[in-house]
Amino acid sequence: MSDNAQKLYYPPESLAKNAAVPGMEAYQALVKQAETDYEGYWANHARNLLDWKKPFTKVLDESNAPFFKWFDDGELNVSYNCIDRQVNNGLGDKVAIIFEADDGQVTKVTYKDLLSRVSKMANALKSVGVAKGDRVVIYLPMSIEGIVAMQACARIGATHSVVFGGFSAQSLRDRIESSSAAALITSDGQFRGGKALPLKPIADEALAMGGCESIKKVLVVKRTGTEVNMTAGRDVWLNDILAEQPETCEPEWVGAEHPLFLLYTSGSTGKPKGVQHSSGGYLLHAMLTMQYTFDIKPDDVFWCTADIGWVTGHTYIAYGPLACGATQVVFEGVPTYPDAGRFWKMIQNHKVSVFYTAPTAIRSLIKAADANEAVHPDRYDMSSLRILGSVGEPINPAAWEWYYENIGGSRCPIVDTFWQTETGGHMITPLPGATPMVPGSCTLPFPGIQAAVVDETGLEQPWGQGGILVVKRPWPSMIRTVWGDPERFKTSYYPADFQGKYYLAGDGAIRDIDTGYFTITGRIDDVLNVSGHRMGTMEIESALVAHEKVAEAAVVGRPDDTTGEAIVAFVVLKGPRPSEADAPAVIKELSAWVAKEIGPIAKPKDIRFGENLPKTRSGKIMRRLLRQLAKGEEITQDTSTLENPAILDQLKG
């Protein structure tokens, strides 16, 4: 053991005994199985976990690498696997969804109800001309309808593309154009924190921008009751057409590789990428991770607090829990309304047993609990909890320990799940009945996932030495391509640096010298992680320079206690640098502009003005310097190559 060996937290024996993976020997046995017969390992799971209309005979097809195919000649339907088979197996009356609205109202949906709601929605989509292979953009709040809409697309073989309800008209327009979607499903508005916020008006604005001509129908859910414009011939109230639909809808059987969904995510360059996922391989990993990582059992009440606009809300709300026949909580609101005890109260009220949230939420709730004893978790009965999860960004050890002690009562393992939009499901994570945990480490690869840390040439690094995180073999739930841009898929994820052999995650990692545990050290590209949301610095820069007053902009991240990273923008205006008195108004204007161009999540926390940006004599922006300035660090490095060292003072902030 090295001197800095960390304290290990062990899974409680009672949990380990009955867990799907009951201990490290069981984990190692699975890893071994996958190593000795990689295809056999995945094929077995695929046969055991999924219901196939037509069984597959091929497992992995690598003939057109890196465009890998899994279970290609098999046929299935994802919605059938999530809903019909539960009903067929006697779970019709089991509660699938406990929906809690922003105002606290609770609605329960059984699997039988869900089947009829999804079938009606599927029929409604067909009635307005949506067919297998079409794309459908879903711009909805957290709602039963959101999940039903996703499932309905899957049922008829349409490919959904969910756009987070916090995104702007511009972002929505870009995603509609890129996917050339046939229909848009939205709502009049959404409730968040006691306020009714608009959605349909934003959708109208997006559709009016041009580039959205592919959209033939807009289906509108009534949620807030706010009055909205309805364009005749194009816009339809969903409630009206749902009422006319038959309650059954034969699932459309599709090939395993049929695209289940696109989800746009930020990269280091250009516009967001449409990550394309498959049907069979994706659902397999959604289910397997529900079983191994969350140890989901028939009596569990699962709650993932993500939004369906992100991948976590796809895999661990819309698909994984349903495919396992679980009962899950779905929450419309925000963790701080009516007060910061909301999550704990909901855990108590719904007897949640598996709780999955993001470090940024935990950190802000720690602050709130410290400030106000009335919302401290010790005021609530959370004895129903048995497993906790974390996702979206690294969890700092202090937040991990607070989560462990105050929420989990020092008895619930925390699964710190590392994964990405592109990976479809968990990649590196503790298993709750097996893996001894270390706060801040996502520990070991999920059985069957061959993760490694390499140098720039692809050479595996010794433990204790940091490097680049890669995955050495294709896995069933991986991204299939970037929608409409296969070349970008190749260069982003299978770069020539590794001879196209390894999947490049885009994160740095280091393995512990004693345990081999992985710790993610952060993105190695120009992607920021703000409150667990991925943002490309380029995207924010493009938004800023699109403003009429801005000549140039550079965006960097700086560590932030609550949001993980915060956005700092360095801006050069076309006119003179604003005086101290004028700056606040310009900052406000630019912030509002970014919110409008991308969405409020992309607003810079700090905007600073200079007459120029620090550049080398060849004109390159020195981002490393900007990162130091953003953090408020003294510039110690040699700035003699700078063309204009004086402007550093202006940008100090």
The alpha-helical segments, DSSP class H, found in 252-323 are 280-292, 311-313, 320-323
Which of these segments, 96-104, 127-135, 487-495, 529-537, binds ligand 6R9 (CB under 6 A)?
Answer: 529-537
Contact (Cβ atoms closer than 8 angstroms) between residue 535 and residue 604 = no
Query: Using CB under 6 A, which of 22, 66, 141, 394 touches ligand 6R9?
Result: 394
Q: How many residues sit in the footprint of ligand 6R9 (CB under 6 A)?
A: 24
Q: Is 564 in the site for ligand 6R9 (CB under 6 A)?
A: no
Q: Is 539 in the site for ligand 6R9 (CB under 6 A)?
A: no
Nearer to ligand 6R9, 344 or 518 (CB): 518
Q: Is 290 in the site for ligand 6R9 (CB under 6 A)?
A: no
Nearer to ligand 6R9, 477 or 628 (CB): 477
Which of these segments, 331-339, 378-386, 454-462, 526-534, binds ligand 6R9 (CB under 6 A)?
Answer: 526-534
498 is in an annotated binding site: no
Contact (Cβ atoms closer than 8 angstroms) between residue 451 and residue 518 = yes
Query: Using CB under 6 A, which of 392, 413, 445, 447 touches ligand 6R9?
Result: 392
Minimal distance in Å, beta carbon 534 to ligand 6R9? 5
Q: Is 294 in the site for ligand 6R9 (CB under 6 A)?
A: no
Q: Is 534 in the site for ligand 6R9 (CB under 6 A)?
A: yes
Measured distance CA(61)–CA(202) in Å, rounded: 43
Nearer to ligand 6R9, 200 or 523 (CB): 523
Q: Is 396 in the site for ligand 6R9 (CB under 6 A)?
A: no
Minimal distance in Å, beta carbon 56 to ligand 6R9? 27
Q: Is 507 in the site for ligand 6R9 (CB under 6 A)?
A: yes
Minimal distance in Å, beta carbon 142 to ligand 6R9? 17
Q: Is 537 in the site for ligand 6R9 (CB under 6 A)?
A: no
394 is in an annotated binding site: yes
Q: Can you read off the two tokens belonging to residue 59?
A: 């497992």
Minimal distance in Å, beta carbon 440 to ligand 6R9? 9
Q: Is 307 in the site for ligand 6R9 (CB under 6 A)?
A: no
Distances (CA, A) of 127 to 80, 161, 307: 20, 20, 28
Question: Element (H or E) spanning 627, and its range?
Answer: helix 623-631
Nearer to ligand 6R9, 139 or 518 (CB): 518
Q: Is 529 in the site for ligand 6R9 (CB under 6 A)?
A: yes
Question: Element (H or E) spanning 609, and its range?
Answer: strand 606-609
For the segment 225-264, give every residue that binds ligand 6R9 (CB under 6 A).
none
Minimal distance in Å, beta carbon 637 to ligand 6R9? 27
416 is in an annotated binding site: yes
550 is in an annotated binding site: yes
Contact (Cβ atoms closer than 8 angstroms) between residue 417 and residue 449 = no
Amino acid identity of residue 20, one-letter, is A
Minimal distance in Å, beta carbon 336 to ligand 6R9? 21
Amino acid identity of residue 414, one-letter, is I
State CA 230 to chain mean position distance. Answer: 32
Query: Using CB under 6 A, which of 312, 348, 364, 537 touches ligand 6R9?
Result: 312
DSSP code, position 90: I
Q: Is 520 in the site for ligand 6R9 (CB under 6 A)?
A: yes
Q: Is 314 in the site for ligand 6R9 (CB under 6 A)?
A: no
Q: Is 442 in the site for ligand 6R9 (CB under 6 A)?
A: yes
Contact (Cβ atoms closer than 8 angstroms) between residue 132 and residue 157 = yes
Q: Can you read off the two tokens belonging to residue 65?
A: 């690498």
Measured distance CA(608)–CA(625) in Å, rounded: 14
Strands (E) across 206-307 are located at 217-221, 235-237, 254-255, 261-265, 273-277, 301-304
Q: Is 445 in the site for ligand 6R9 (CB under 6 A)?
A: no
Q: Is 444 in the site for ligand 6R9 (CB under 6 A)?
A: no
Measured distance CA(119)–CA(286) in Å, rounded: 22
Residue count of the chain: 653
Which of these segments, 96-104, 135-143, 413-421, 595-603, binds ligand 6R9 (CB under 6 A)?
Answer: 413-421
Using alpha carbons only, give the angle 458, 463, 466 rounded to the nearest 5 degrees: 60
| Helix, strand, coil shares, percent, the chain, to 5 | 35, 25, 45
Minimal distance in Å, beta carbon 423 to ligand 6R9? 8
Measured distance CA(634)–CA(653) in Å, rounded: 12
Minimal distance in Å, beta carbon 561 to ligand 6R9? 17
Q: Using alpha carbons only, how large is the chain's radius of gyration in Å?
A: 24
Nearest residue to 316 (alpha-carbon basis) of 256, 389, 398: 389
Minimal distance in Å, beta carbon 435 to ligand 6R9? 14
User: What is the number of other CB atoms lying within 10 angstroms of the CB of residue 364?
Assistant: 18
Nearest residue to 56 (alpha-carbon basis) of 279, 334, 349: 279
State CA 120 to chain mean position distance. Answer: 28
Which of these segments, 101-109, 327-335, 361-369, 500-508, binds ligand 6R9 (CB under 6 A)?
Answer: 500-508
Nearer to ligand 6R9, 304 or 326 (CB): 304
Q: Can you read off the two tokens belonging to residue 470?
A: 């890669």
Nearest residue to 404 (alpha-carbon basis) of 394, 396, 414: 414
* 375-387: burial string, b at 16+ Cβ within 10 Å, e else: bbbeebebebbbb
Q: Whose CB is nearest to ligand 6R9?
A: 421
Minimal distance in Å, beta carbon 237 to ligand 6R9? 33
For the segment 414-433, give every residue that binds ligand 6R9 (CB under 6 A).
416-421
Nearer to ligand 6R9, 264 or 570 (CB): 264
Burial class from Cβ neighbours inside 10 Å (0-12, 13-18, 19+) for residue 487 reads exposed
Nearer to ligand 6R9, 458 or 532 (CB): 532
2 is in an annotated binding site: no
Q: Is 565 in the site for ligand 6R9 (CB under 6 A)?
A: no
Q: Can you read off the two tokens belonging to residue 2?
A: 């090295």
Which of these segments, 54-62, 159-167, 204-212, 305-313, binds ligand 6R9 (CB under 6 A)?
Answer: 305-313
Using alpha carbons only, give the angle 561, 565, 529 rounded to the nearest 5 degrees: 135
Minimal distance in Å, beta carbon 442 to ligand 6R9? 5
Residue ranges of the annotated binding site for CoA are 192-195, 312, 531
Residue ranges of the annotated binding site for Mg(2+) are 545, 547, 550
Which residues of this protein are in contact with ligand 6R9, per CB under 6 A?
265, 310-312, 390-394, 416-421, 442, 505-507, 520, 523, 529, 532, 534
